[in-house]
Amino acid sequence: MLSRIAEPEIDTLLAATELGKIDYVINFAERFLGTPYRYGGKQPGGFDCSGFVGYVFAQLGYQTPASSSLFRTYGSKVSRSACRPGDIICFKGRNVHAASIGHVGIVVEANPADIHFIHASVNKGITHDRLSSAYYKPRFVQIRRVLH
């Protein structure tokens, strides 16, 4: 005979599944620390920013946009205060005055003081950075949630 799972237990199971996805995304992404930047790169031999995010999320079956500029409508927008690990953080590119998204990364830690993310840096390859840095703070655009 099949038994029915109580509603709170279902919520707990769903939350555990989401936490599993988040941990998986972060742990998988961090395997590539130090991998070189490659313009248009979408594989472990070298990544650009959208190629890196796409490769990581593809491991869970998500198909992300091919270009960082297309992340403006991917997933759902969340506030900075609601940001959590596994979210995609979006920035303007090299031109701080540009209106479009030109760079993306994956949030690995979020707290009221700062957001830490992993991304493909032109100069450092796959690396960690902070939103509070002098370079990224003025370029911040939005946060997108894919793992609901």
Which residues have C-beta within 8 Å of that of residue 66, sequence separation ≥ 6? Answer: 50, 54
| Residue ranges making up the domain that contains 23 | 7-145
16 domain residue, yes or no: yes
CATH code of residue 15: 3.90.1720.10
Structural domain total, the chain = 1
Q: Nearest CA to 141 among 92, 106, 82, 87?
A: 92
Q: What residues are annotated to the active site?
A: 49, 103, 119
| Contact predicate 64/53, CB 8 Å | yes
Tens-digit pLDDT profile for residues 72-89: 999 999 999 999 999 999
Write down the pTM of the prediction.
Answer: 0.87
Helix axes 49-58, 7-30, angle to 10 degrees: 130
Tens-digit pLDDT profile for residues 14-55: 444 666 999 999 999 999 999 999 999 999 999 999 999 999
